Amino acid sequence: MAVSDDIETNNRCLQSLSAELSCATRIILLLIRLWLGLCPADVAALEAAVTSVVNDATKQVECAIDKSITLLRVEKGCGYCMIEDS
């Protein structure tokens, strides 16, 4: 159980730090907007370039693996049959 507790603690820590990073990024974007007097179109371009959203890399890796497995199944079975899951 110690390992699962450590994983849960790390996940909570990651969520907290992600929220802090997101807030800091939003504040920096706001300060830049006010300092330079940017119009809404420029603000939108800046926000698109410097996102305040923190992505979970684990989900991205899982998605990439799923896509690779699907591609292998299609290539192996020529699209007509699937490789049996073991």
CA distance readout (Å), 50 to 28, 42, 58: 10, 12, 21
CA-to-CA distance for 37 and 39, rounded, in angstroms? 7
Distance of CA 67 to the CA centre of its chain: 17
pLDDT score for 6? 83
What is this structure's pTM? 0.55
pLDDT score for 31? 93
> For 6-37, what is each residue's pLDDT tens digit?
888 888 888 888 888 888 888 998 999 999 89
